Amino acid sequence: MTAWLFIGLSVASFLGAFIAVTMGVGGGVFLLAVMAMVFPPVILIPLQGIVTLGMGASLVALMWRHMLRDTLLPFTIGSLIGAALGAQIFTVLPAALIQGFIGAFILVLAWLPRITSHGSAPGKFAVLGGVSTFLGMFVGATGVLVAPFVAGAAPDRRSVGVTLTGLMSISYVIRIATFGLLGVSLSAYWPLIVAMIATAALGNWIGGRTLLRIPEHIFRRGFQIVLTLLALRLLWVAVTSPAS
């Protein structure tokens, strides 16, 4: 790995963290898209997971008091089940098909908010944990699937970002452990991982200060627009990917 590539990935991690905090979603997908240009899929998904986990840990530490904590346990239980099922068929399902399904589903959730606005019921977040972690074994960043439900349950923009980050951090921990059991090793990438987590922490800090300056209604509309763009990107990837 060249020095310029090392620096470029570190900057991408900063930008991903900043996007995740200020828009509530999209940072993980942005980082995944950048890293996909460099790493093969078998390394890409767990490596992006570790970096995003480190990115999320600093945000959760900064904004813990805004977390919807009653979502954590059911989401964890669902994630464990989803990872166990995903490990059984890892690399079998076509990623493009899953991405297309997620993209279509997100469009529905983004523009029909009544579906997601019934509070943080434990059963709902257990199902979300299972589905997002299962799909994450194949397509990486699935926070966009969970985001509309978090937005529907959260009282304000600060709760949206930190709760989504906390839930997806749980999913990443479980997925990383599962990939380790499947024999995927990332020991050669630790210097890069440390650098990307450090720049992500800076992005979280600057993004958090920026978020406080954004009016609530503008945040909600921007959140909806970002979800839509990410969903359309997933649909485009699904349509243009060669059949396998």
Q: Structure pTM?
A: 0.68
**Which of the four pLDDT bands, split at 50, 70 and 90, describes residue 6?**
very high
Residue 126 Cα distances to 73, 74, 146, 180, angstroms: 8, 4, 11, 24
Q: Are 24 and 158 in contact (CB under 8 A)?
A: no
pLDDT digits (tens, 9 = 90+) for 152-211: 887 777 788 788 888 988 888 888 888 888 777 788 889 999 999 999 889 888 988 887
pLDDT value for 79: 92
Strand ranges, E, within 171-232: none
Angle between helix axes 3-23 and 157-181 (nearest 10 degrees) is 140
Compute the radius of gyration of the chain from its Cα atoms: 17
pLDDT digits (tens, 9 = 90+) for 88-123: 765 555 666 666 766 776 676 667 655 555 555 778
Those residues whose C-beta lies under 8 Å from the C-beta of residue 199, and which sit 6 or more positions away, are 10, 11, 13, 14, 17
